[in-house]
Amino acid sequence: MSKAGLGLTDLSIAPRRPERKPEPPSDAATSAAPVSTKKAPAPMLSKPNENQRRETAEARAIAQEDVRSSLKNLKRSKQRNVKFYINIALDYELKARLQRAASENDLKMTAVVKAALEFYLSENAY
């Protein structure tokens, strides 16, 4: 089996469009237009001097610092609601007592541990 190959003659290529050059307006059109409607060439933007560049850079830096600090404050406020987990190694007997207390009071073991820690810390003035 041989594949049929395509050559350049098999493809049709559209010819390029000729470029249109703007024709100069006729004398009748320019004489009819009022002189006041002609636009003056737009002034080119001048390069800012050193003081202007420094001022704009300082203003940009201050704005970025404000955004950065507000973003940090937002992250801190979100972190206050985050739960922090601790791992505690319990011996078998203590864990069995914790499970029994949780099941008898229809609570989760974490609620019992939180209550016990809160009680201990408040009793010891922490």
> Do 93 and 54 lie in a common domain?
no
Is 15 part of a structural domain of the chain? no
77-118 confidence digits (pLDDT tens) = 777 766 778 888 999 999 999 999 999 999 999 999 999 999
Q: In which domain, by residue range, is 110 found?
A: 83-126
36-89 confidence digits (pLDDT tens) = 555 666 667 778 788 888 999 999 999 999 888 888 888 887 777 667 788 889
Select the highest-mean-pLDDT range: 22-26, 46-50, 121-125: 121-125
pTM as predicted: 0.36
Is 125 part of a structural domain of the chain? yes
Q: Is it the case that residue 32 has pLDDT exceeding 60?
A: no
> Do 90 and 117 lie in a common domain?
yes
| SS3 sequence of the chain | CCCCCCCHHHCCCCCCCCCCCCCCCCHHHHHHCCHHHCCCCCCCCCCCCHHHHHHHHHHHHHHHHHHHHHHHHHHHHHHCCCCCCCCCCCCHHHHHHHHHHHHHCCCCHHHHHHHHHHHHHHHCCC
